[in-house]
Amino acid sequence: MNVKQYDAIIIGAGFAGLYMLHKLRERGLSARVLEAADGVGGVWYWSRYPGAKCDSDSIYYSFTFSEELYKKWRWKDRYASQPEILQYLNFVADELNLRPDIQLKTRVTKAKFQEEAKQWEISTDQGEIFEAKYLISGVGCLSTTNIPPFEGSESFKGEQYHTGRWPHDKVDFTGKRVVVIGNGSSGVQTMQEVAKEAKEMTLLMRTPHYVAEARNHPLSKEEQEQAINNYKGIREAFFNTPGGIRLYTTGKSATAFSAKEQKEKLEHIWETGGLSLGSVFTDVSANKEANFVVSQFVRDKIDEIVEDRDTAQLLHPNYYITTKRLIIGTNFYEIFNEDHVHLVSLKDNPIERIVENGVQLKNGTVECDVIIYATGYEAMTGSLLKIDIEGRNGKTIQEKWEDGRNVKTYLGLMMESFPNLFMITGPQSPSVLTNMPAAIEQHVDWIDQCIEYLEEKGIQTIEAQKESELEWAKQCDDLANQTLYPYTNSWYTGANIDGEQRGFVIYVGGLNNYKAICDQVAANDYEGCTFEKLQSNVL
């Protein structure tokens, strides 16, 4: 078989893969991106559901590594829609002339570390084999869809869609009865649009969530220019804030304010919109009292907006706000005042099976023509675990992570037994708690510099030490335990799939602090790692 040789193989052509390719090519290395879809964009290629938008302000949802690139693009709206983000990523691919090194319609199925040659052998569903010194995963944290194994779904006579794998053609809901399962960001955004067309729309809700107002609007020419002129400020926010984005904060604990002042601050956030409900007070994610102030504010808003008392009560979230990703919506709670929109709580009435004419619950069947699964993703670990990755001595990631139940990494970037394998926004990095392009730029820059170090020193492999993985896991757990996150079952803990709490898979200390740690590790000659030089001389 014709084996193709590269310095690096990068998996995925989303934000991560595109920037990694650019960096390695600039370094003079040969690199190839392998991407399963037939276009670039990653999750933004697939998630074409109606109303799909990013929940970070668009002016921050861009690459900032190149001032020229940043200044060439103008976002249309405060929150970019999926088609606009896909357009942006295609613009980036063209501007940086990346396409010649991106291979589409190619899914990586297997990667095996070759002990003798000290390189990775990568197989694809196209029957090709690649060999590369470096294997870099840009598969994303939210890309493998979670479709709960409801019995009988094949018997359903109507249409069924998952928000993360939406068809390219517009789906027409006119005159149809639609059931939506799931009310995370995807479900909320979808429902706002589907409710405008459908004859009936029913949300089957397992857990009520907090939905903050987006206040989306077209950006005026002045706002666009302001963003462009503030390039340095945006870049500064990427790496000097916990979330890689500048959010509103009073800079004080909630307890520093009277109840009246707290309410005024929160009203201000509600009116200006966005993710700042989580940042308005410094202790929302860490202090139960502060968290209650903000949680109760949203519950009161629900009561103000939703006319039917029982529905309002069912919509009340009761976990600590921000311990699941805050959802940004536009008049979401208002749609429950419309006669054709219905809410069914699954709490005491769970889904039993899908039947030919709808969804059968414990207490009766909800008949429908369309089922939308807005049931999320096998977050953080799902996409890597799907690839058959075999490191030293035949050890697989499945074995190492005990099928995702016990994730072990160093900085969320590397793993023991998997030399020269780097993960961009892997588990145990700050990733999903941040503005993604910021987290991605930080990781790609770090990996690129690490590769420069290895190449300059003639090092063949770098690999995390077991002890540094244990230390990192402890650091992630200790930080999480100082917050309210562990109190809530969520995909941050892997508990969305089967309700079983696993390890906490995110570094919650903030991107700014995380970057400082990663930079220190690099400055200390990649402490915590083991190296092999030519002829297997361990350094």
Check binding of 206 to ligand NA7 (CB under 6 A): yes
345 binds ligand NA7 (CB under 6 A): no
d(CA 356, CA 360): 10
- 358 forms part of the interface with ligand NA7 (CB under 6 A): no
Residue 209's nearest CA partner among 227, 191, 195 is 191
Given 77, 109, 148, 248, the residue binding ligand NA7 (CB under 6 A): 148
Nearest distance from C-beta of residue 476 to ligand NA7, angstroms: 19
* Rounded-to-integer distance, Cα 72 and Cα 478, Å: 42
Q: Report which of 501, 474, 508 is spatially closest to residue 487, judged by C-alpha positions.
A: 501
* Token pair belonging to 267: 């009203």
Q: What size, in residues, is the chain? A: 539
Q: Coil, helix or strand for 414?
A: strand
Answer yes or no: are the C-beta atoms of 386 and 176 closer than 8 Å.
no
Taking Cα atoms as reference points, which of 498, 478, 524 lies closest to residue 376? 498
Cβ distance to ligand NA7 smaller for residue 187 or 494: 187
Q: CA-to-CA distance for 323 and 493, rounded, in angstroms?
A: 10
Q: Name the minimum Å distance from CB 183 to ligand NA7.
A: 4
Nearer to ligand NA7, 256 or 495 (CB): 495
Shortest Å distance, C-beta 231 to ligand NA7 = 25
- Residues in 487-516 that interact with ligand NA7 by CB under 6 A: 491, 496
Q: Which is nearer to ligand NA7, 133 or 325 (CB)?
A: 325
Judged by CB under 6 A, which stretch of 102-110, 177-185, 300-308, 441-449 contacts ligand NA7? 177-185
Q: What are phi and psi of 144, to 5 degrees?
A: -95, 115
Strands 31-34 and 102-103, by their bridges, are: parallel
Q: Taking CB positions, which residue lies at the least distance from ligand NA7?
A: 184
| In the complex, minimum distance from the CB of residue 35 to ligand NA7, in angstroms, rounded to a whole number | 20
Closest separation between CB of residue 33 and ligand NA7, Å? 23
Least distance from ligand NA7 to the Cβ atom of residue 506, Å: 12
Question: Binding to ligand NA7 (CB under 6 A): which residues in 181-200?
Answer: 181-187
Identity of the residue, 374 or 387, whose beta carbon is nearer to ligand NA7 in the bound complex: 374
From candidates 140, 274, 376, 437, binder to ligand NA7 by CB under 6 A = 376
Q: Residue 122 is inside which H or E element, if any?
A: strand 119-124
- Which residue type sits at 167? P
- CB-nearer residue toward ligand NA7: 39 or 187: 187
Q: Residue 221: which residues within 8 A CB-CB, separation 6 or more? A: none
User: If DSSP codes are grouped into helix, strand and coil, which group holds residue 347?
Assistant: coil
Binding residues vs ligand NA7 (CB under 6 A): 142, 148, 163, 181-187, 206-207, 325, 346, 351, 374-376, 491, 496
